[in-house]
């Protein structure tokens, strides 16, 4: 075989391989219809009420995932610089994971957040993952809890490789340590109550479950 033919064949094989990868990403995920409806409802968890409840005590291991397994907190929420998220760090360029099942509502560069992903969940919360070296999901895609979201990185305004992780209600961030125990990378077993107050601000309360 001539060198030209061999080269053409190689290129074709490479193209076919990449094409099959692209196709594989587009395969639909088996998400129940009821869950789609619940995420639709979660667009405005206060549509016809001023309070909603999430029973984290009932969550099975398939229903939640720590967003960056093995990570330590290197900057908590709040403080003097009004940090809007929790900075989580591992030793490498590790995979960030969907905290709960849901829909990708944003994936792309987003100002100081760098490569950013926002997920909307059926439970009424949203989660945000930023400074990714690369996003692994597309807008409109459905994820199970634990599915890869991106690769930990340093894009946007970031010092060192880390994940800036936010938990939100209707775009308003709250301290993720209210729902995750960052010491042991675990979900806090509790009845979590979010109340919209008269002045529009949110109040978070919780009842521990035995
Ligand atoms: Zn941060």
User: pLDDT digit string (tens) for 93-134?
Assistant: 999 999 999 999 999 999 999 999 999 999 999 999 999 999
Phi, psi of 12 (to 5 degrees): -65, -45
Strand partners, 73: 88
Do the domain assignments include residue 45? yes
d(CA 9, CA 12): 5
Residue 24 pLDDT: 42
Burial 87-106 (b: 16+ CB within 10 A, else e): bbbbeeebbbbbbbbbbbeb
Q: How far is the CA of 160 from the centre of ligand 1 (A)?
A: 11
Burial of 38 (0-12, 13-18, 19+ CB in 10 A): middle
Do the domain assignments include residue 17? no
Own/partner pairs for 69-76, CB < 8 Å, 24+ apart?
Answer: 69/94, 69/97, 69/185, 70/94, 70/185, 71/163, 71/182, 71/185, 72/182, 73/182, 74/162, 76/175, 76/177
At 149, which CATH number? 2.70.70.10
Do the domain assignments include residue 28? no
Q: How far is the CA of 39 from the centre of ligand 1 (A)?
A: 26
End-to-end CA distance of the chain: 73
Residue 175 pLDDT: 97
Name the domain count of the chain: 1
Residue 15 pLDDT: 59
Q: Is the pTM of this model over 0.75?
A: yes
Phi, psi of 11 (to 5 degrees): -60, -40
Residue 94, token pair as written in the block? 């590790």
d(CA 194, CA 196): 7
For 135, other C-beta atoms within 10 Å of its C-beta total: 24
Nearest by Cα to 38 from 97, 99, 102: 102
Q: How far is the CA of 7 from the centre of ligand 1 (A)?
A: 47
Which residue range forms the structural domain that includes residue 149? 33-208
Q: How far is the CA of 31 from the centre of ligand 1 (A)?
A: 31
d(CA 205, CA 93): 35
Residue ranges, the chain, pLDDT below 50: 19, 21-31
Own/partner pairs for 14-21, CB < 8 Å, 24+ apart?
Answer: none
Q: How far is the CA of 84 from the centre of ligand 1 (A)?
A: 7
Residue 13 pLDDT: 62
């Amino acid at each position: 075989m001539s060198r030209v033919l061999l080269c053409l064949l190689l290129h074709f094989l490479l193209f076919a391989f990449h094409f099959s990868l692209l196709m594989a990403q587009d395969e639909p995920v088996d998400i129940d219809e009821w869950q789609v409806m619940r995420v639709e409802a979660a667009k405005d968890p206060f549509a016809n009420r001023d309070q909603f409840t999430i029973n984290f005590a009932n969550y099975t291991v398939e229903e939640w995932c720590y967003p960056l397994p093995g990570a330590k907190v290197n900057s908590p929420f709040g403080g003097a610089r009004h940090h809007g998220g929790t900075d989580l760090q591992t030793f490498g360029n590790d995979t960030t994971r969907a905290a709960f099942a849901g829909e990708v509502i944003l994936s792309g560069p987003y100002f100081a957040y760098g490569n950013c992903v926002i997920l909307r969940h059926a439970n009424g919360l949203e989660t945000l993952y930023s400074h990714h070296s690369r996003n692994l999901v597309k807008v409109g895609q459905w994820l199970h809890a634990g599915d890869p979201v991106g690769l930990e990185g340093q894009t946007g305004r970031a010092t060192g490789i880390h994940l800036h992780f936010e938990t939100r209600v209707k775009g308003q961030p709250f301290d993720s340590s209210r729902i995750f125990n960052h010491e042991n990378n675990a979900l806090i077993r509790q009845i979590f109550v979010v109340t919209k107050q008269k002045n529009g601000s949110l109040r978070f309360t919780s009842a521990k479950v035995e």
